[in-house]
């Protein structure tokens, strides 16, 4: 059910407030462009600076706008298990298809703590869970053995792997099983991730290049890695430019250049520097997305 190109949706703002009209337009655009799923209120959706009410509003509006046409995997991560349970239950009540749950950040739990946290979220409702393993942000790495233990739970169905270690895909196939859904959380290595056994990417760049990334993902899933590599080569400068500074800032700027939304972000993030803007512009031109 969860495969292909799934944009980690930005949260559009207007004068500091949620821009729900633009959010709904983006959902329609992604469906028209061939995205295979939507992931609102992850890090790229600026979850750290949304209030709980805003978080829940964005999830509800995306689910409503998607109207069952493509899956919605709602961000439900927190380093507070009680808050995570709240987000899980809201996502279920809103009609999301699954929840994306990040490894708890800052408080640095042990592997046993990870099992306790994810088990509690698993048991709180009936929503499937995609584990989000991103040690570079959370300061904790869920190892393949721990993931294998959690994969025994019926509703922990997959992982968004942002370790950047392509060997993890094979290791997790051993501990979690070949049917465990593995999607990349890193645009620059998504081609190689699928060659190892992955089935998709929760993508930042797909916010601005959804059709190209949908085509790349489908090419890999059909075994046409040469075609997929041509698209990856076309997009690599854009991937790199977007992540020169925080990725959501880079992709919002890229989207603003195409008239999709404003480049407004919330502090402590700030707009791109002029040098990075030039890199993003070059990446858009190299990808054929801007003259």
pLDDT tens-digit map of 86-113: 999 999 999 999 999 999 999 999 999 9
Q: What are the distances in angstroms from CA 57 to CA 20, 53, 264?
A: 9, 6, 19
pLDDT bucket at 227, cuts 50 / 70 / 90: very high
Q: Nearest CA to 219 among 183, 203, 195? A: 195
Rounded Cα gap, residues 52 and 54, in angstroms: 5
CATH says 4-222 is which class? alpha beta
Residue count (the chain) = 291
Structure-token match 């169905």, residue found = 157
Q: What is the pLDDT of residues 16-55, one digit of tens each?
A: 999 999 999 999 999 999 999 999 999 999 999 999 999 9
* Single pTM value for the model: 0.97
Q: Nearest CA to 34 among 163, 288, 211, 266? A: 211
pLDDT at position 76, please? 98
Q: Is 132 a known active-site residue?
A: yes
List 3, 105, 132, 277, catalytic entry: 132
Given a contact cutoff of 8 angstroms between Cβ atoms, the answer to whether 158 and 2 are in contact is yes
Given a contact cutoff of 8 angstroms between Cβ atoms, the answer to whether 163 and 131 are in contact is no
Q: Taking the domains of the chain in order of start, what are their residue ranges?
A: 4-222
Q: Is 106 a known active-site residue?
A: no
List 3, 105, 160, 252, catalytic entry: 160
Given a contact cutoff of 8 angstroms between Cβ atoms, the answer to whether 78 and 124 are in contact is no
* Residue 250, Ramachandran bin (φ over 0: left; ψ between -120 and 50: alpha; else beta): alpha
């Amino acid at each position: 059910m969860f495969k292909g190109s799934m944009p980690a949706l930005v949260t559009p703002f207007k004068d500091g407030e949620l821009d729900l009209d633009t959010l709904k337009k983006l959902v329609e655009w992604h469906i028209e462009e061939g995205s295979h799923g939507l992931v609102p209120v992850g890090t790229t959706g600026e979850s750290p600076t949304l209030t709980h009410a805003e978080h829940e509003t964005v999830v509800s509006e995306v689910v409503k706008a998607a109207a069952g046409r493509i899956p919605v995997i709602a961000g439900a991560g927190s380093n507070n298990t009680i808050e995570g349970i709240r987000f899980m239950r809201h996502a279920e009540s809103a009609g999301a298809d699954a929840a994306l749950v990040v490894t708890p950040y800052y408080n640095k739990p042990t592997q046993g703590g990870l099992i306790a946290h994810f088990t509690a979220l698993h048991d709180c409702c009936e929503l499937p869970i995609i584990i989000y393993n991103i040690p570079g942000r959370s300061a904790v790495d869920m190892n393949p053995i721990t993931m294998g233990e959690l994969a025994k739970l019926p509703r922990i169905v997959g992982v968004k792997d942002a370790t950047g270690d392509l060997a993890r895909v094979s290791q997790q196939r051993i501990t979690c099983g070949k049917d465990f859904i593995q999607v990349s959380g890193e645009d620059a290595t998504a081609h190689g991730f699928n060659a190892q056994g992955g089935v998709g990417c929760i993508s930042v760049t797909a916010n601005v290049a959804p059709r190209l990334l949908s085509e790349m993902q489908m090419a890999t899933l059909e075994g046409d890695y040469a075609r997929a590599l041509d698209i990856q080569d076309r997009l690599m400068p854009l991937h790199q430019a977007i992540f020169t500074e925080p990725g959501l800032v880079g992709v919002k700027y890229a989207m603003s250049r195409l008239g999709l939304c404003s480049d407004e972000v919330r502090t402590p993030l700030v707009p791109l520097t002029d040098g990075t803007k030039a890199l993003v512009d070059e990446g858009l031109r190299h990808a054929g997305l801007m003259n």
